[in-house]
Amino acid sequence: MTRDSDGLSDPKAMRALAHPARLMILNRLGVEGSATATEVAEIAGITPSAASYHLRMLAKYGFVEDAPPRGDGRERLWKPVDNRLSVGVLPDDQPEVRAAKVSLIAAFRREANEEAERALGNVDKEPEGWRDATWFSRYRLRVDAEELAWLNQEIEKLIEPYIIQRRSEGVAPEGARVAEAQVNLFPVMERAAPGLPTEDHDAG
C-alpha cells in the first residue's frame, strides 16, 4: 500500500478500505486486538466466509496482517498493521486519486457519525460520571491557516497519551472504558442561499 506524507495515496487501497464492513473489521481489530474471521464477522454482521474475504482484501493492501497464533494454532488470527491511517486531499491529486480520497473520507465520516449517534441514544442510560463526561460540542472560530494547523497539532498532543493502541488496560486507571474523540477542523465554506420561494405557502 502506498502512503505519502499526507496519508493514503493508492486509489485501489482507499477504495478497498471504504467498504463499511472492512472499516468495522479494522476498527474491531484496532480496539480489541487480534481476532479470527469468525470473531470479526459477528461485529460486522456478515458470515465468517465473507469476513475472511474482507480480511484478505485488507491484507492485500497492507491494512492487516497475520497475528501470532493462540491455543493450538489452528485458527488464523489477524491484527492491524501498526500505522495510523490518514487521508489528505492535495491540489495536484489526479482525478482518480481525489475521488478515492473523498469517498474514503466520506466513509470515515459516516462511521464516525453512527458511533456518535449510538452514544447519544444511550447517554441517558450511562452512570452519572460518564454521562457528565460525555460532550457534544460545536464551535465557530476566527483563525488563520497557521492557527488552525497549530490547533490540530495541540489537540493531537493532548489526545496522544490516551490512544488505545498506546495505553494498555494495565496502565489505564480502574474503571477505564473505550471512548472516542472526534475532531474536525476545517474552513467554513459559504452556504449557497436557497432563494425566495415561488409561492408563499403560509399566506392565507
Domain annotation covers residue 7: yes
| Total number of domains constituting the chain | 1
Q: Give the predicted TM-score (pTM) of the model.
A: 0.75
Among all chains, which residue has been given the C-alpha cell 456478515?
46
Domain annotation covers residue 197: no
Domain annotation covers residue 61: yes
CATH code for position 89: 1.10.10.10
Beta bridge partners of 78: 35, 66
Which range marks the domain in which residue 67 is found? 3-136
Domain annotation covers residue 146: no
What DSSP string describes 171-190?
A: TSPTT-----------PPPP
Q: What is the chain's pLDDT, residue by residue, as a tens digit (204 residues)?
A: 333 444 688 899 999 999 999 999 999 998 888 999 999 999 899 999 999 999 999 999 999 999 998 877 788 999 999 767 778 888 999 999 999 999 999 999 999 999 999 999 999 999 999 999 999 999 999 999 999 999 999 999 999 999 988 888 889 999 999 999 999 999 999 888 787 787 766 655
Domain annotation covers residue 69: yes
Alpha-carbon Rg of the chain, whole angstroms? 21
